[in-house]
Structure 1
């Protein structure tokens, strides 16, 4: 049986009032702190007490629930029980948040494995590796793989892939590959791609290349994906010259046809060059792509334009946009919205506003992302009236901004004393039933009551979004 909480802690937990967002907390604590003589395994006891786990413990409530449980080990065991019954698994973002909310995860994983005299259910191993990867805990990942092998279990490709994601050095990668070899398992293409990227990111370029050369032995064919992974790893390590030599090799005839660089390869290179301040070289990538018939996509455009704008080379940014629009590679609407976003992100507010005005005059519609960012940035600069004006223009063009924009703007209008505009926008929010973040809503209610608008304050309070929930 798992270790139990000390008697004093059990009394404290049993008398604690259930959290308002966790009505099942008291019942859960009763199960987790049941006498150690109970013959029922914990997962069975949990399933018997909570036959519908998704209803009893919605995923969005778990990040705040896990730290409330009696011990890190019990938090981990409860999460494994809860997630094993989830189909499909939560998103990577959600798993990352859950991993971060687990108290003392390294110790609890070690204690779980050392106290298990029988193999864990296979889904538990996969979940442990996935959670450890999101937490960046390679030692825990390696311990899970070794625990599986101690019971002669052969981890599948997904398990090895999760473990490699947590690797932080070339020796970490080699340790995973050694376990894979000892288990008689051959690496799949995704596993090799991840291993190559990790090796290159750690500066082991020869090791990455040797692994690529061995791909045919594993029934895999080297392609642009694995070479792009190596190039991106070299860029992460800071070996720009090596990355340039590799892309020249990919562009040449030394490799097979399916190893030619694609738009993702060139995007990785541009990001690296811009990060090193090599803007002229980054701009030259467009010519390399044109020579090989590789068409830019929106991600490439954003990466290049953002790098050029960050270097304050606005004229070059406009030249890039005009060239791409002229070539028909990306639509003018997409290009100019990307430029608008980049200008705001690098703090060039006046240039961004001027561009937005020209876009409006030419009938180029702002995207929800660009429009929302613009309103937020104006609010940050304490220009709520200008933000309100732009929001109206954006909505007139049939574009709806993100819901959080309305709360931010409402708060800015109230704090800057624009009661009339705040009232008009507030009633629009109520009509559309746009939810407001809890902290923002509470401050809004306080300010609106000061202005004497108790009715609007009451309506907005009803639209308050509960804090701490995860979006899945």
Structure 2
């Protein structure tokens, strides 16, 4: 690396929060810049410099470190070294974060594969397929499967499933299934469900049906899950009429059949109907479910009520809630909290506040989610004082909002000049040790100092939370 580029990189890496982190990253930089990216010696050099990689580079720091390394290929090689074949696969949330932070994956993955003269450990193939799926890079996923086959390795069902998740067209799905067939591997239910959904989402309904018809050849029995997958794909494609015909076909099966529609199936239909503005038909789905003895759940209620509210049919939304409460199919507190959240999210402020007041009067407890949504929405509308009083009322009734709400409200109070209330809430935040997001905390400290609350500002600074979710 040229001296100037190395100097610039050192400056970028010096932005890491602690001196200890900076020294580790400086040592890492020395290792990475002393060996070519394709060198087989790189993993050994890294292991000599850092015998305990998890301690040296905690998983939470990687999304911030990877973009700073000298090249996209080195970033990917470093990640693979850090996540050894014996490391457990990170959670979907962490994998998504890693996929976002890794630079130029579409080029670095093929480069990594082409420079590997030996097969990678199977867990590393799974890692690369997972990251490619989260990044939506199907060409990279296909290249990984082909790299495995070039060494005579047979990908397992999970590998094919990850590759299908990245598929963006019917042709992509066919490509994965062809490799499966060439390996002599049979699709499992999760693979079929994903493939069917992808085909239907791309508008290839015939291909999706053909795959379902072939399921007995693979030792699988078609069921409501796979039919719901094709239904959801139809809805994603926007073909609500095809979705209606499919549900009618499913309803025509004998009661108790594996392919009979369930609450998830009807939820997909409701979402699709509401998305097309066919709200009255969506309301009629409740009757169809009742005739077949399918009970609504919280997700179904939220989907239907949200669609009705978005169409400004407040009376119909209340009718739905009253009906469900009367039937006893969903607890009343769940129904009313769902309605409250939906009213806030579609901007029906007066209706939402009226409902919240009635719930409080009748002893219907607000959920932490509903309370948090209410405080946030009031802050967005520059009504922090109302949000402050609502927060106090909810706390008196035992409702504890999400911790991030406190920082949001505290900043809103300061910005709107409600100094007395801001000081009171600030002291509460300090007493409870509630961490505040860094960007919010920085602005709060600045405003509190302007208002003469130097000590409170100092305490808030101590509760400043970094981007990794930990206090600085």
- TM-score in terms of structure 2 length: 0.95
Is contact 1:94-1:470 (8 Å) kept?
Answer: no
Is contact 1:66-1:75 (8 Å) kept?
Answer: yes
Note the C-alpha offset of 1:56: 1.6
Q: Which moved more, 1:113-122 or 1:154-163?
A: 113-122
Alignment of 1:307-456 (within 5 A): 307-456=307-456
Distance 1:256 1:397, change over 3 A: closer
SS of 1:33's partner is: helix
Match of 2:217 in 1: 217
Note if 1:20 corresponds to 2:19.
Answer: no
Note the C-alpha offset of 1:15: 6.9
Match of 2:285 in 1: 285
Match of 2:5 in 1: 9
Distance in 2 separating the partners of 1:37 and 1:212: 45
Distance in 2 separating the partners of 1:222 and 1:256: 14
Is contact 2:427-2:456 (8 Å) kept?
Answer: yes
Is contact 2:38-2:115 (8 Å) kept?
Answer: no
Per chain length, whose mean CA-contact separation is higher, i.e. which structure has more relative contact order (CA < 8 Å, sep 6+)? Answer: 1
Is contact 1:14-1:30 (8 Å) kept?
Answer: no
Distance 1:39 1:442, change over 3 A: closer
SS of 1:312's partner is: coil
Is contact 1:61-1:470 (8 Å) kept?
Answer: no
Is contact 1:196-1:229 (8 Å) kept?
Answer: yes
Q: Which moved more, 1:111-120 or 1:319-328?
A: 111-120
SS of 2:83's partner is: helix
Match of 2:206 in 1: 206
Distance 1:34 1:14, change over 3 A: farther
Is contact 1:31-1:46 (8 Å) kept?
Answer: yes
Distance in 1 separating the partners of 2:224 and 2:90: 30
Alignment of 1:27-426 (within 5 A): 27-36=27-36, 41-84=41-84, 87-253=87-253, 257-426=257-426
The Cα offsets for residues 2-21 of structure 1, whole Å up to 9 and x where unpaired, read as: xxx45653454357663333
Is contact 2:13-2:68 (8 Å) kept?
Answer: no
Gaps of 5+ in 1: none
Count residues in correspondence: 467
Is contact 1:63-1:101 (8 Å) kept?
Answer: yes
Note the C-alpha offset of 1:50: 1.8
Distance 1:115 1:342, change over 3 A: same
Distance 1:86 1:300, change over 3 A: farther
Is contact 1:19-1:25 (8 Å) kept?
Answer: no
The Cα offsets for residues 398-436 of structure 1, whole Å up to 9 and x where unpaired, read as: 111111111111111111111111111110000000001
Distance 1:464 1:85, change over 3 A: farther
Note the C-alpha offset of 1:38: 11
Distance in 2 separating the partners of 1:220 and 1:306: 36
Note the C-alpha offset of 1:94: 1.9
Is contact 2:85-2:121 (8 Å) kept?
Answer: no
Gaps of 5+ in 2: none
Note the C-alpha offset of 1:86: 7.4
Note the C-alpha offset of 1:255: 9.7
Q: Which moved more, 1:445-454 or 1:33-42?
A: 33-42
